[in-house]
Amino acid sequence: MAGEQVVRAEGIQKSFERRIVLNDLSLSVAQGQLYGLAGSNGAGKTTLIRTLCGILRPDKGEAHLLGWRMPSSRVRSQLGYMPQDFAVYEDLTVLQNLEFFGGLYELRRSQIRGRADELLDLVQLSDRKKQRVGTLSGGMRRRVSLAISLLHKPRLIFLDEPTAGVDPKLRRTLWNDFNRLASEDVTLIVTTHMVEEVLRCHVVGFLSAGRLLTEGTPEEILSETQTSNLDDAFIVLQERGEAKR
Amino acid sequence: MKTFAVARNVLRRVINDVRTLALIVILPLFFVLLYGNSFSGSYRDLTIVLVNQDNGLASVRTAEVGRITLDVGLAKAFTDALDREMFDVVEIEDPDEAAARVQEPDVWAALVFPRPFSNAVVNEAVRASGERRVIVDGDTVTLLPSDPIEAPLTRLVIDDGNPLIASAIRGAFNEAFAEVLASQQSSVTAETLLEVEALYGGAIRMLDFTAPGIIGFAMTLITVMLTAMAVVRERTSGTLTRILIAPISAWQVTLGYTLAFSLIGIFQAAELFLASQILFDIRFIGNPGVAALIIILFTVGLQGIATLISTLAKNEAQAMQFVLFLLIPSLMVSGVFWPLETMPPTIRPLSYVSPLTYANSSLRKVMLMGGGVGDIRLELAVLGAFALVMLALSVLSMRRQGYTA
């Protein structure tokens, strides 16, 4: 499964108003991997995703996506990004949102319609296609946002908290689908603050106070921390990290 | 107590928002200073052309020595009585050239004194007052009324394209005439001496005069507010970042915005023009295509201002405050209500950097005076440059907002 490195970050440092948010952070993700980035609130997950995507410029270090040093416009058409905010037009319908973003990726109208049907089926919003997004619940808006990020069949997808506010049944469906996409050689980096969720990932990174506490398969992390679940493993690693500092 | 808690919370939030706080403190003071300074009420440096054919002499019958000739030089006295801060007087010889020069943008009036001006005024004064005793070369003589003199009237050609200035000029001329006539103890009024020829036949009302500026301001307010709010919302909702991650350049995003809001702007302008014509019969004698060209350039520039405002504003409320902070002063300094000529030199630079000044001036020329592209070259050049610069700044601003949201 492990192919070429499609994400490579080295020595990333990022501060906001003198507060260090990412501290000398390095990671790499291979093609077709489902990489779970877990951490508590404020750990730096969103900042890391935004830095990798080229939205933020690191103070130090560099990030490469699909072989291009970021920020680069060359990877945009192959990149999928679902921000933590909904980032959808509330005054447009679900379908109109998909049509607009599909147009930015130069998808033809018929292609967009086809993809919209598939994706709305996936996020269980087929019956809401013509409903204005502003009238949907928070969880539903997040699902619209997820559908938008998958619309153009990107090779590399960053999903920032895609399952927050989503009910357990749908959450399971979504994780199944993330795994399916990874099996099709799509690379996914998924953040979550619900640590146990990343059990379904190929590789897991635990982030705390802007540092990567550990990286490995869930099994490797459980074995290293001598714990039976990832929640406990995270707490052990966090305490170790604090003790070191 | 709960009411106080709510009030305290609102005030605390305002105090914590430094930009809002600064606007609350500075805005009223800024408006008062600007209003007080922008409308000084006095006009400066209005160019008028004067042809003085008056020989200055008055031939009057006397009871003692028959006819005598008095050297009174009344046209010169009139010229001397003019307020030199208000007028730049250009004296020339040819009456026809003087009348023609009023067509020039900087010349406001031409006044042609006929050769027997002094003679007519003095004899008219004596006729109106009956016999009059005056001292000539140390001797007292009695001036006698003579038959009315058929003298040509003083010709005043005035540019009434700006009714405020035209009215101020006529007021100043009347004052100067009154001074001259008072020196002759004449009961004649200035109006009876003048043959007035208004360039636009008095057809331009105050309503017509202010309409182009008000239309320009309405467009500015609506367009800038809509665009600034839309961009702020795009940024704060995260959609701008999402757009800029897609394979689309900041240029394309900016142009898309400009295109959409320009269409809205043009629609609004058409609505404003039509409604003002149908409801208030506002004068529009120019080419609508030329007016549309002005509107397009102006609107494109306004998009840029709006995008820059959205860069500064953290949220929609702040964007609204910035819009008011910029736009209300522009209404005061752009010659919409009172002419630029009344503004003190300290304020005029603000007029020259306000795009509304050029939109107002060019729309006025097209709507009120039937001007074509050739008459508004300067305004079109400034509005075009403004549109290009603002478009370029918008791209930078859009990129910055997308990547720092």
Q: Which residue has the tokens 């000084």?
A: B40
Neighbours of B92 (CB within 10 A): 14
> What is the residue type of A242?
E
From the list B237, B403, B404, the residue facing A87 with the nearest CB is B237
Chain A residues close to B251, C-beta within 8 Å:
none
In order of A105, B27, B198, B307, B339, the CA distances from B312 in angstroms are 30, 16, 49, 9, 32
List pLDDT tens digits, range B120-140: 888 888 887 777 788 877 888
Q: pTM of the prediction?
A: 0.76
Question: Quick one: pLDDT at residue B109?
Answer: 94
Chain B positions in Cβ-Cβ contact with residue A77 (cut-off 8 Å): 246-247
pLDDT band for B151, please (50, 70, 90 cuts): low
- Residue A1 confidence (pLDDT) above 70: no
Out of 1.20.1530.20, 3.30.365.10, 3.40.50.300, 3.40.50.150, the CATH code matching A5-88+156-244 is 3.40.50.300
Q: For residue B405, name the pLDDT band (cuts at 50, 70, 90).
A: very low
Compute the distance between CA of residue B351 and CA of residue B359 in angstroms, rounded to an integer. Answer: 12
Distance separating alpha carbons of residues B354 and B224, to the nearest angstrom:
14
Q: For residue B382, name the pLDDT band (cuts at 50, 70, 90).
A: very high
Cα B247–Cα B253–Cα B256 angle in degrees, nearest 5: 125
What is the average pLDDT across B153-168? 88
Q: Do residue A81 and residue B245 have CB atoms under 8 angstroms apart? A: yes
Predicted confidence at residue A64, as pLDDT, reads 92
Which chain B residues are within 8 Å of A56, Cβ to Cβ? 403-404
Q: Specify whether the CB–CB gap between A213 and A241 falls below 8 A.
A: yes
Q: Judge whether residue B402 has pLDDT over 70.
A: no
Query: Which long-range contacts does B29-32 make (Cβ < 8 Å, 24+ apart)?
Result: B30/B325, B30/B329, B31/B328, B31/B329
Give the one of B237, B247, B405 whose C-beta lies nearest to A76's C-beta: B247
Is the pLDDT assigned to residue B91 strictly greater than 90?
A: yes
Residues of B in contact with A81 (CB under 8 A): 242, 245
CB atoms within 10 A of CB B29: 9
* Under 8 Å between Cβ of B220 and B358: no
Judged against a pLDDT cut of 70, whether residue A26 lies above it is answered with: yes
Question: What DSSP letter does each residue of A103-144 carry, written as one string?
Answer: HHTT--HHHHHHHHHHHHHHTT-GGGTTSBGGGS-HHHHHHH
Judged by CB atoms closer than 8 Å, whether chains meet at A106 and B238 is answered as no
Cβ atoms of A229 and A40 within 8 Å: the answer is no
Nearest to A33 by CA among A81, A80, A1: A1
| pLDDT for residue A88 | 94
As a whole number of angstroms, the distance between CA A100 and CA A148 comes to: 9
A73–chain B nearest CA distance, Å? 7
**Among B191, B46, B200, which Cα is nearest to B108's?**
B46
Indicate the burial class of B296 (C-beta count within 10 angstroms; 0-12, 13-18, 19 or more): middle
List B47's β-bridge partners, or say none: B88, B107
The two tokens of residue A122 are: 């996936």
Across chain B, mean pLDDT equals: 86
> Lowest mean pLDDT: which of A25-39, A79-93, A120-134, A167-181?
A167-181
Q: Residue A55 in contact with residue A108, Cβ under 8 Å?
A: no
**CB nearest to B239's CB, from A53, A56, A87:** A87
Helix (H) or strand (E) holding B134: strand B132-136
Q: Are A14 and A59 in contact (CB under 8 A)?
A: yes
Higher pLDDT: B190 or B195? It is B195
Q: Are B148 and B105 in contact (CB under 8 A)?
A: no
Q: pLDDT over 70 for what percent of chain B?
A: 97
pLDDT digit string, tens, across residues B309-337:
888 888 888 888 888 888 888 888 888 88
What pLDDT is stored for residue B290 in this prediction? 95
Distance from C-alpha of B90 to C-alpha of A235, rounded to nearest angstrom: 91
Task: For residue B163, say if its preceding peptide bond is cis, omega within 30 degrees of 0.
Answer: no
What's the rounded Cα separation, in Å, for the pair A46 and A161? 9
Cα gap B217→B211, rounded to integer Å: 10
Distance, in angstroms, between A84 CA and closest chain B CA?
A: 9
Annotated domain spans of chain A? 5-88+156-244
Contact B219, B268 (CB under 8 A): yes
Nearest to A91 by CA among B13, B153, B27, B229: B229
Side-chain-side CA neighbours of residue B142 (13 Å): 5
- Main-chain dihedrals φ then ψ at residue B185, nearest 5 degrees: 50, 40
Higher pLDDT, A139 or B99: B99
Query: Which residues from A are below 8 Å from B249, CB to CB?
Result: 73
- Structure-model confidence comparison of residues B385 and B45, the more confident one: B385
Higher pLDDT, A135 or A86: A135
Q: What is the pLDDT of residue A42?
A: 85
**Cα dist. B112→B49, B98, B105, B115 in Å?**
9, 8, 19, 9
* Predicted pLDDT at A118: 92
Indicate the residue of B238, B246, B403 with minimum beta-carbon distance to A76.
B246
Pick from A55, A81, A89: which is nearest to B403 by CB?
Answer: A55
pLDDT in tens, A89-108: 999 999 999 999 999 998 99
Nearest residue to A93 via CA among A127, A49, A54, A44: A127
Q: What are phi and psi of B199, to 5 degrees?
A: -55, -40
Q: What is the pLDDT of residue B41?
A: 64
- Domains defined for chain B, CATH in brackets: 46-198 (3.40.1710), 205-404 (no CATH)
Contacts of B403 in chain A (CB under 8 A): 54-57, 71
Contact A53 B245 (CB under 8 A): yes
Calculate the average pLDDT of chain A.
Answer: 89
On chain B, the residues whose CB falls within 8 A of the CB of A86 are 237-238
Q: Please report the DSSP string for chain A in residue order.
A: ---SEEEEEEEEEEEETTEEEEEEEEEEEETT-EEEEEE-TTSSHHHHHHHHHTSS--SEEEEEETTEESS-GGGGGGEEEE-SS--S-TTSBHHHHHHHHHHHTT--HHHHHHHHHHHHHHTT-GGGTTSBGGGS-HHHHHHHHHHHHHTT--SEEEEESTTTT--HHHHHHHHHHHHHHHHTT-EEEEEES-GGGGGGSSEEEEEETTEEEEEE-HHHHHHHHT-SSHHHHHHHHHHHHHHH-
- Could B238 and A89 be called an inter-chain contact, meaning their C-beta atoms sit closer than 8 Å? no
pLDDT tens digit sequence for B213-245:
998 998 888 888 888 888 888 888 889 888 888
The answer to whether the CB atoms of B238 and A148 lie below 8 A apart is no
The answer to whether the beta carbons of residues A183 and A31 sit under 8 Å apart is no
* Band (A3; pLDDT cuts 50, 70, 90): low
Residues with Cβ within 8 Å of B118's Cβ and at least 6 positions away in sequence, in order, are B54, B55, B56, B57, B58, B72, B73, B74, B75
Token duo for residue B7 = 């009030």
The mean pLDDT of B247-252, rounded to a whole number, is 86
Residue A235 has which token pair? 């707490």
